[in-house]
C-alpha cells in the first residue's frame, strides 16, 4: 500500500479531530494537513479569546472545505479540559483523534530559566496531557 493511502486511512472522511494549540504555528500546520486529506471536522483549542487575527485564521481554514470551530479552554486546568471535551462531543458526538500541539515558548538557556518560566512552558504539555 502506498504511503499516501496509509495516511488517508488514518484520517477518517468526515471524522472529527481535536487540536490543542490549534491556532498556533504547529496547530495550523496540523489543521491544514487534515483539511487537505478530505472533509473533516476540526476543533481547534487555545487558551486565548478569538481576536481579529485568530478569527481570520479560522475563516481561512473553513474556506479549505472542512468544518472548523474554535473552543477556548486552558487545558492545564482539569475542569476546563473536561469542558472542552464535553463541548466538542456535544457539537460532533465523536472525537476520532487528538493532536496535542499546545505549548508556550519561553526561549532561554535552561539553567537561566526562572521557575515560573519552566512551569509556563511545561504546563500545557504536562498538565494538558494528564487531564
Q: Among residues of the chain, what percentage have pLDDT more than 70?
A: 72
Which band of pLDDT confidence, cut at 50, 70 and 90, is reported for residue 102? confident
Amino acid 75: pLDDT = 87
How much is the pTM? Answer: 0.77
- In this structure, whether the domain defined by 3-102 belongs to CATH 3.10.20.30 is answered with no
How much is the mean pLDDT over the chain?
83
Asked whether residue 1 carries a pLDDT value surpassing 70, the answer given is no
Neighbours of 61 (CB within 10 A): 23
Neighbours of 63 (CB within 10 A): 10
| Average pLDDT for 13-26 | 94
- C-alpha distances (whole Å) from 19 to each of 4, 76, 82 are 22, 15, 15
Amino acid 7: pLDDT = 57
Asked whether residue 118 carries a pLDDT value surpassing 60, the answer given is no
Nearest to 47 by CA among 67, 27, 68: 27
Domain borders along the chain are: 3-102
| Average pLDDT for 52-77 | 94
Do 66 and 90 contact (CB within 8 A), yes or no? no
Amino acid at each position: 500500500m502506498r504511503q499516501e493511502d496509509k495516511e488517508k486511512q488514518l484520517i477518517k472522511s468526515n471524522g472529527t479531530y481535536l487540536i490543542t494549540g490549534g491556532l498556533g504555528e504547529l496547530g495550523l500546520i496540523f489543521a491544514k494537513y487534515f483539511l487537505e486529506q478530505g472533509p473533516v471536522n476540526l476543533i481547534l483549542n487555545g487558551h486565548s479569546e478569538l481576536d481579529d487575527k485568530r478569527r481570520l485564521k479560522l475563516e481561512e481554514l473553513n474556506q479549505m472545505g472542512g468544518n472548523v470551530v474554535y473552543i477556548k479552554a486552558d487545558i492545564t486546568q482539569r475542569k476546563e479540559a473536561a469542558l472542552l471535551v464535553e463541548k466538542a462531543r456535544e457539537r460532533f458526538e465523536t472525537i476520532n483523534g487528538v493532536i496535542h500541539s499546545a505549548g508556550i515558548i519561553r526561549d532561554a538557556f535552561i539553567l537561566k530559566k526562572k521557575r515560573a518560566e519552566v512551569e509556563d512552558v511545561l504546563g500545557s504539555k504536562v498538565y494538558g496531557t494528564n487531564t
